[in-house]
Structure 1
Amino acid sequence: MLPMDWKYQLLIIIILYSVNMSTSVFEFTNIKCTSLDKKFDNFEYCHLKSVNRTFKYVSIKVNMYVLPVTNVKVNFSLLKKFSGYKPFLYNITADACRVLKYPKFNPVVGFFYSIFSHHSNMNHTCPYNHDIIVDKLPADFVNTKITKTLPFPVGDYLFDSKWIINNVNRAEVKVYGTLTNSNEL
């Protein structure tokens, strides 16, 4: 085997350094919450707050009018923008009560749940006898999950979730975000 020329060694080091330095950054761009049955639930607030250029967070509070909630399914899909939002990787319906009871039952659902679970009061098994809150979920926390745990390609994304309670679609939450290469910033 012939030794490599020093120029090729330097080129390999530069390429490896560039790949290591190229990281992605997630940023929230919008959020939309819709109650589909105002007698069952209603969103008290659903907003994206930008504290400064580098710190944004999402907060949601849904008031539940019919308690206890014992039968919850969630359908979520991840969409990527390609001339409009198109399906990207996931479109899953899961029994939320079962996932909360057995977190490792479905690793994909467990992964997406872990994105907001630390910032929510939805961190116990059914039944739910209270309003549901996601409090100040920061973009940098989501960024760590999306770019470090399970890397995604850069682009605009939509996380669309439909909340089905007692076999009736009761609410829809759409979270929009963009994933950019940090070298482009």
Structure 2
Amino acid sequence: MVSQIRLVQLFIFLYLINQISSKVEFTNIQCTAVDPEFVNFDYCFLKSVNRTYKYLSLKAKLFKIPFTKIKVNVEIFQKLNGYKPFLYNITVDACKTYLRNPKSNLIFQFMHNLFQSYSNMNHSCPYDHDIMLEKLSVSFIDIQLTKVLPVPRGDFMFHSNWIAYNKNRATVNVYASLS
């Protein structure tokens, strides 16, 4: 009888643990055109439609197209007395390596999958059009960062440098909080 009670208590405990979940929220986005003769941002914003639906959108206007040499540097920071490096700092040659063979870098593939279905950055080079990220919802990111790859709680910054022809052309910083 005691073992049956313990078994029921264990099931209730496991159920309650399953009900506790983390939540991701976008807190800010900053898009900077380092070389305004090469690229400029038409828009770069967060929009909160209601308490549960918030999304991120940006559009980078490219002036010297087509692109054939693109590198992307992505670094993740966690806020601990200022932003400190956290886990990854990777640079990928998007044209030569990654877009031709996405499995060449699994970490970058995971990061790219966070926004790929909301963006037009989903084919190999050359790029001869503006880059857009439309209505990337926080709920999609929430599932990826809490269910697929559990990330600890805290405030984070996803910093990216967009490098074309070996010069940094733009930076995008996305700030998020995981509670």
Give the alignment's TM-score, normalised by structure 1.
0.91
Counterpart CA distance in 2 for 1:111 and 1:147 is 13
Deviation at 1:13, TM superposition (A): 2.5
1:160 equivalent in structure 2: 159
1:26 equivalent in structure 2: 24
Structure 1 stretches of 4+ moved >4 Å: none
Pick one of 71, 75, 78 that aligns with 1:77. 75
Aligned runs of 1:12-51 on 2, under 5 Å?
12-51=10-49
Pick one of 7, 10, 15 that aligns with 1:9. 7
Question: Per-residue CA shift, 1:75-104, capped at 9, x if unaligned?
Answer: 101111111111111111111122111111
Paired AA for residue 141 in structure 1: F
- What do you get for the CA RMSD once the two structures are aligned? 1.4
2:119 equivalent in structure 1: 120
Unaligned 5+ segments in structure 2 are: none
Aligned runs of 1:89-128 on 2, under 5 Å?
89-97=87-95, 98-128=97-127
The answer to whether 1:147 aligns with 2:135 is no
Paired AA for residue 139 in structure 2: D
Paired AA for residue 53 in structure 1: R
Unaligned 5+ segments in structure 1 are: 181-185
Paired AA for residue 145 in structure 2: I
The alignment of Structure 1 onto Structure 2 pairs a total of residues equal to: 178
Deviation at 1:15, TM superposition (A): 2.6
Deviation at 1:47, TM superposition (A): 0.4
Question: Per-residue CA shift, 1:93-143, capped at 9, x if unaligned?
Answer: 111122111111111000000011111111100110011000111111111
Counterpart CA distance in 2 for 1:94 and 1:8 is 52
Counterpart CA distance in 2 for 1:75 and 1:15 is 43
